[in-house]
Structure 1
Amino acid sequence: MTSTHQPMGRSSLGSEMPWAELPRDVSTLLAGSLSELVEEIVLRIPQEVPEYSRPLEGEFGASVRRGVEIALGRLFIDLPGRDEPALMPATRAIYRQIGVGEARTGRSLEALLSAYRLGARVTFRAVSAIADRVGLEPRLMLPLGESIFVYIDEISAASIEGFTEEQSRQVGERDRRRESLLRRMLAGNLSEVEARRLAARAGWPIPARVVAAVLSPEHAEGLRAALGDDALISSRTGEVVVVFAAPATDAQREQIAQMLRGRHAWVGPARGWETTEESYRTAALAAGTPSLSDPEGDVRWVDDHLTMIALRSDPLVMRDLAARSLEPMRHLRPEQRERLAETLLVWLKHRGERGRIARELHVHPQTVGYRLGQLRDVFADDLDDPDRRFELELVLRAGHRPDPAAQD
């Protein structure tokens, strides 16, 4: 065939609409082969794209066939010789919906794009054979081939748009379901049946044991991306709570520490999922105690700091206990108060072993004896009372020191 039709639209190589360079009678030449080409593409997809390696039957098969028929009809019947975009709104919606459907089935986007690329290759080879058979002018093979690949790019873009938007919607819905599950776990009123149902909907298999981490909102930027699918996250008033499967090895513990590094997070003790709120409460208690904060922002584990958390978790009670226990030292000079408080704490820690006390304080044992004499003068028989010694050690280990006497 030697076409005498003048091509419409732009004629430069690399046009965004290369089909405009084709004569209209190309449609007539190709129309009779389209049904055969549809069958070949539908047959080849499950053979060459692993994720579609099943017969294209039922609703899914009908959808694939319809997509191929629409693509070939648009490309070879509607577009040749016309200066118009590859996809009209209704056609774009079809391929966008294909992307949505693939996201909902859980198949990868790459599988869909591989099927499109396969269709383009099969179509180009078939059309080349048809063109040779009917005597299509060689000069038209370039815009014809370019038309195929530009069109595939357009339907790929539409499907990518649908796929990614559906994925975003699913992620948003999943995150809402996960947050709802975590809130129910923290409330502590969740039956096992309900927990399993909510966890299945949220895509988060409930582990036998969990740990809860607490951090402030200002340290939570980018947290979801950093944690991926491993954790539940919930934003509460003034804090963010994260729940993980409890680490069973040092490597798993380090993995959690890496994910939360620099976020000033406290991680509570391991608990059964039914008592997640216990792990949360202890982590929240530690996170809410300013004197326990770490300026470096490294992860801190409640299990490693139980004594200090217990001592500092209720500052008001400990302050009152310190005021009462250390009251006999209030009238000492500031330097003497500090020196004797330090000596008293070391004496209590080492149960009066003068040599160990001297080594820790870096003083001579005779100096220790002198200071203990001063402490006896201040506290008298209280130092022989086990309950008073226990109170004194508590408040001194918690970091309290004697308040100076009020000045008149």
Structure 2
Amino acid sequence: MPRSGAPSPPWQALPADLADALAPVVPGVADRIIGTVPDQIPAYAAARDGGYGKKIAFGVRTALGQLLSLPGTSRRTLNPETRDLMASLGAGEFREGRTMDHLLGAYRLAARIAFRELSEECARQGMAMGVVVDLGESIWAYIDELSAVSAQAYAAEQSARAGVLERHRAELAAALLHGTAAPAEIDRLSVVADWPVPERLTVAVLPEEVDPAVRAVLVRRGLVLERGGETVLVAPSPRSPAVRRRMLDALAGTGAVVGPTVIPSRVPTSHRVARALAAQRPGLPGVAEGEAILAEEHLGAVVLGAAPEVLRQLSDRVLAPLDGLTDGKRRAMEDTLASWLRHWGQRAPMARELSVHPQTVGYRVGRLRELFGDVLEDPDARFDLELALRGRAVVTGGL
């Protein structure tokens, strides 16, 4: 029954015996709809024969039968059987790979055919124009309800499929990152995830908490996995500098570190490199907060950070001559020594870099020679000194 105050359904105004009057032409109307839809909507041409085609034909006849059970009543548009059938048609559209627009178009076409042929029969039998008008309104109200039920089922199936697909893709990402799955297993996971594994891949590491809009971008670009306090993207490697630039632009502001390009079996390596560099972000010179970076442009920092304890021991040994200085003086002398090594002892560029007078540079270099002695003339010792100074951000967290 209609809710109190709700308008009566349009079929309530139709004659209660209308179904009996129209019964002789209903089978022909159903056949016309079943035959016309595949011709007018090519997406259904392949479904004309086979199990799904039979289901559509059954749906047409069932829907017409339900429509003609309504005249003269205030019943709900669909009974449970018809509602379930229309829902299954909507879900089936997604499984068959068609858009919902195809089914909605088929419903509209069916409504036009039904109204034209049933109204012609009404006229042939001399029924009043009011019956034809109410019939048309009833048919379109009925089709609106069918469309809504099918669309809701389509969306639910799409959502469920997306959840299953995302789970399979997370499993594929985990297998690639772990690196121990056999090629046959990777192939199997690739099929169920509907994600062909390309010949070259790269791994991007991001903070675990990413904006939903950013995550949506990541999902479009590759496989996404949240684990161990980080979000990991496994994606096809950029094919050109322009594609690489677009990838970095898409990751701008996320703090992503993109690992080197590798073959699928070496994905764990790309992941390790990206993670190692991500841990060193605070000490990387010239890298803005949140900037997406390529590990291949910072491999030196990755090497320096590979064995921090060894680097700390090296720094303690080669920089021992500075141990007697105050913290402020030690920092100034370390900066001067690093600049001296970078600029081969040239005072002018050192002064500019250190923002001090060239005479100050001369004084500091003289002091360094007093502290280090002949060590500064030894190429191997200078190499160790530069390693120690370049690695101090890794060892001390950006001292």
TM-score, scaled to structure 1: 0.89
Are 1:308 and 2:317 an aligned pair? no
- Matched to 2:53, the amino acid is G
Deviation at 1:44, TM superposition (A): 1.1
- Residue equivalent to 1:393: 386
State the SS of the aligned residue for 1:269: coil
Deviation at 1:312, TM superposition (A): 3.9
Are 1:34 and 2:26 an aligned pair? yes
- Residue equivalent to 1:99: 90
Q: Judging changes above 3 Å, is the alpha-carbon distance between structure 1 residues 134 and 401 closer, same or farther for their aligned structure 2 residues?
A: closer
Deviation at 1:165, TM superposition (A): 1.3
- Residue equivalent to 2:76: 85
Distance in structure 2 (CA, Å) of the matches to 1:239 and 1:178: 17
Q: Is the 1:291–1:312 contact (alpha carbons within 8 Å) kept by the matching residues of 2?
A: no
Q: Judging changes above 3 Å, is the alpha-carbon distance between structure 1 residues 9 and 40 closer, same or farther for their aligned structure 2 residues?
A: same
Q: How does 1:233-244 map to 2 (within 5 A)?
A: 233-244=224-235
2:205 to 201, 211, 214: 214
1:169 to 160, 166, 173: 160
Distance in structure 1 (CA, Å) of the matches to 2:73 and 2:179: 66
Are 1:289 and 2:277 an aligned pair? no
Q: Is the 1:345–1:393 contact (alpha carbons within 8 Å) kept by the matching residues of 2?
A: yes
Q: Is the 1:209–1:270 contact (alpha carbons within 8 Å) kept by the matching residues of 2?
A: yes
Q: Judging changes above 3 Å, is the alpha-carbon distance between structure 1 residues 396 and 148 closer, same or farther for their aligned structure 2 residues?
A: same
Are 1:343 and 2:343 an aligned pair? no
2:149 to 138, 145, 158: 158
State the SS of the aligned residue for 1:32: helix
Q: Is the 1:179–1:232 contact (alpha carbons within 8 Å) kept by the matching residues of 2?
A: yes
Deviations 1:203-225 (A, max 9, x none): 11111100101112122534442
Identity of aligned residues (%): 39
- Matched to 1:249, the amino acid is S
What are structure 1's unaligned runs of at least 5 residues?
Answer: 1-7, 404-408
Q: Is the 2:90–2:153 contact (alpha carbons within 8 Å) kept by the matching residues of 1?
A: yes
- Matched to 1:140, the amino acid is V
- Residue equivalent to 1:66: 58
Q: How does 1:116-265 map to 2 (within 5 A)?
A: 116-219=107-210, 221-265=212-256
2:266 to 266, 275, 278: 275
Deviation at 1:157, TM superposition (A): 1.5
Deviations 1:256-290 (A, max 9, x none): 22332222111100001111111111111112235
State the SS of the aligned residue for 1:218: coil
Distance in structure 2 (CA, Å) of the matches to 1:328 and 1:81: 103
Deviation at 1:150, TM superposition (A): 1.0
Q: Tell me which moved more, 133-142 or 241-250.
A: 133-142
State the SS of the aligned residue for 2:173: helix
Distance in structure 1 (CA, Å) of the matches to 2:125 and 2:2: 25
- Residue equivalent to 1:325: 318
Distance in structure 2 (CA, Å) of the matches to 1:368 and 1:160: 76
Distance in structure 2 (CA, Å) of the matches to 1:402 and 1:245: 34
State the SS of the aligned residue for 1:263: coil
- Matched to 2:298, the amino acid is H
Q: Is the 2:14–2:134 contact (alpha carbons within 8 Å) kept by the matching residues of 1?
A: yes
Distance in structure 2 (CA, Å) of the matches to 1:255 and 1:124: 53
State the SS of the aligned residue for 1:233: strand
1:53 to 16, 22, 45: 45
State the SS of the aligned residue for 2:221: coil
1:44 to 12, 36, 44: 36
- Matched to 2:49, the amino acid is E
TM-score, scaled to structure 2: 0.91
- Residue equivalent to 1:3: none
Q: How many residues align?
A: 393
